[in-house]
Amino acid sequence: MRILVTGGAGFIGALAVWRLLDLGYDVCVVDNLSSGHRSALDRASRLAGRPVEFHLCDVRQTSQLISIMQSFRPEAVMHFAGLKSVAESVACPELYYENNVQGSLSLVQAMLQCQIDRLIFSSSATVYGANGVPPFGEDAELGPVNPYGRSKWMVELLMRDICSAHPEFSGIILRYFNPVGAHPSGLLGEWVQGSPNNLVPYVMGVLQGRFDRVRVFGSDYPTSDGSGVRDYIHVLDLVEGHVAALNLPKGLSVFNLGTGRGYSVHEVIQAMQSVSGRIIPFDVVDRRPGDVAVSIADPCRAHQAMAWKAERGLIEMCQDVWNFAQCSPKGYELE
Ligand SMILES: NC(=O)c1ccc[n+]([C@@H]2O[C@H](COP(=O)([O-])OP(=O)(O)OC[C@H]3O[C@@H](n4cnc5c(N)ncnc54)[C@H](O)[C@@H]3O)[C@@H](O)[C@H]2O)c1
């Protein structure tokens, strides 16, 4: 089976590429390298012992996508390409609607033209409304509170309409909770240039001496220690969810990919301290606008429909991140 992976040079995409190659799929990546790294693909290919086809291409370039699809003839597309910073989306919403929404529309147009009818889309738990009560089931009320989340929601609506109009189409929406972790080899993981928005890459930066202290946003949330609680999922479990989605029947499917268990910011810092044996200095600061107190998935639907379940716990996620920090101290730089 041939799979086209957009955004395959990014954090989650490169791990998906490795796993697909490892399972014997032929993989073609399109990525504009705006945040991804060509060397991540080289590492994925080296780890799997198989080549990967790469095209420097922006998903908004529909005609270039069409010619790549006509030549590679994929049976499915995994669509990771996109921008993902909530703060940046608030400052520059037009960038997010253009890249995430227009980019996805361009991809769908190319797929329809080339008669490729299976699309697996990286959505996000940010599509759930701020007023819902966790754990969130897939039918919980939606109502994202920032442009990033709204850009994901718009693509979900697009996929819903495409599936209604084209009965042969499989549109699979995967709502990720908080992906962390790395490949156990320490060769593939999340490498953010500049200042990361997410907790674990920031903690990793502190451990590597790139930042002085972690900032913990909020001390008065209604949680056990006052910090925000999130459902962290190992990126390899997330990738297995994508592999499982390749076998779903036609039509629209929506799944949460999470563990169903939440951890506070302080629990994550504690876990990173215990796997690294280092003290992680932190400051508690004000809440960050747009953050919710608790975000936890109800992952039962994915378990029932795809026999998929997250297997790895927080310590394993932190161990793999620490291993990546040590094995790749400069991330993908200098390659
Ligand atoms: N990491 C998370 O916490 C998280 C959570 C929920 C959803 N997601 C979604 O999962 C997907 C992958 O996330 P990630 O963490 O791997 O991010 P990432 O930034 O590491 O990877 C995104 C990749 O897409 C590429 N890209 C961006 N815009 C493109 C365009 N217009 N054309 C071609 N390539 C483009 C980038 O160069 C990069 O390689 C994103 O869509 C993101 O919104 C991520």
Q: Could you tell me whether strands 178-180 and 263-264 are parallel, antiparallel, or unpaired per DSSP bridges? A: unpaired
Quote the pLDDT of residue 329: 85
| 6: pLDDT strictly greater than 80 | yes
Q: Are strands 2-6 and 214-217 parallel, antiparallel or unpaired?
A: unpaired
Find the 315 Cα to ligand 1 centroid distance in Å: 25
| Ligand 1 atom with least separation from CA of 58 | 32
Q: What is the mean pLDDT of residues 166-178?
A: 98
Ligand 1 centre distance from Cα of residue 122 (Å): 8
Residues 44-78 pLDDT 10s: 999 999 999 999 999 999 999 999 999 999 999 99
Mean predicted lDDT score pLDDT of the chain: 96
Mean pLDDT of 206-219: 94
Average pLDDT over residues 235-258: 98
Quick check: 102 and 31 in contact, CB under 8 A?
no
CA distance 307 to 187: 29
Could you read off the pLDDT of 80-122 as tens digits, one per residue?
999 999 889 999 999 999 999 999 999 999 999 999 999 999 9
| H-state helical runs in the chain | 11-22, 38-48, 62-72, 86-91, 93-96, 103-113, 147-165, 199-207, 235-245, 265-276, 300-306, 314-327
Would you tell me how many other CB atoms lie within 10 Å of the CB of residue 310? 24
Q: How confident is the model at residue 194 (pLDDT cuts 50, 70, 90)?
A: confident
Among 225-229, 234-238, 325-329, whose mean pLDDT is lowest? 325-329
Q: How far apart are CA 326 and CA 189, in angstroms?
A: 11
Among 128, 148, 263, 332, the active-site one is: 148
Nearest CA to ligand 1 atom 44: 84
Ligand 1 proximal residues by C-beta, below 6 Å = 6-7, 9-13, 31-36, 58-60, 80-82, 84, 99, 103, 122, 124, 176, 178-179, 198
- Residue 148: active-site member: yes
- Per residue in 114-146, pLDDT (tens digit) is 999 999 999 999 999 888 899 999 999 999 999
- Whether 334 shows a pLDDT value over 70: the answer reads no
* pLDDT greater than 60 at residue 7: yes
Are the C-beta atoms of residues 307 and 255 closer than 8 Å to each other?
no
The residue whose C-alpha atom lies closest to atom 43 belonging to ligand 1 is 84
Residue type, 20: L
- The predicted-structure confidence for 268-302, as pLDDT tens digits, reads as follows 999 999 999 999 999 999 998 878 899 999 999 99
**For 2-327, which CATH superfamily applies?**
NAD(P)-binding Rossmann-like Domain (3.40.50.720)
The pLDDT of residue 333 is above 80: no
- Report the separation in Å between the CA atom of 58 and the middle of ligand 1, taken as the mean of its atom positions: 12
The pLDDT score that the predictor gives to residue 71 is 98
Residue 335 has pLDDT above 60, yes or no: no
pLDDT in tens, 15-40: 999 999 999 999 999 999 999 999 99
Does the model's pTM come out above 0.85? yes
Give nearest CA residue, ligand 1 atom 21: 10
Ligand 1 pocket test, pick from 122, 148, 192, 202 with the greatest ligand atom count within 8 Å of Cβ, gives 122
Q: Is the pLDDT of residue 42 over 70?
A: yes
Check: CB of residue 46 under 8 Å from CB of residue 17.
Answer: no
Q: What average pLDDT does range 189-201 have in this prediction?
A: 89
pLDDT in tens, 72-82: 999 999 999 99
Question: How far, in whole angstroms, is CA 102 from its chain's centroid?
Answer: 19
Residue 33 Cα: closest atom of ligand 1: 37
299 CB burial (10 A radius; 0-12, 13-18, 19+) = buried
Ligand 1 centre distance from Cα of residue 79 (Å)? 9
Ligand 1 centroid distance, CA of 9 (Å): 9
In the chain, the percentage of residues whose pLDDT exceeds 90 is 91
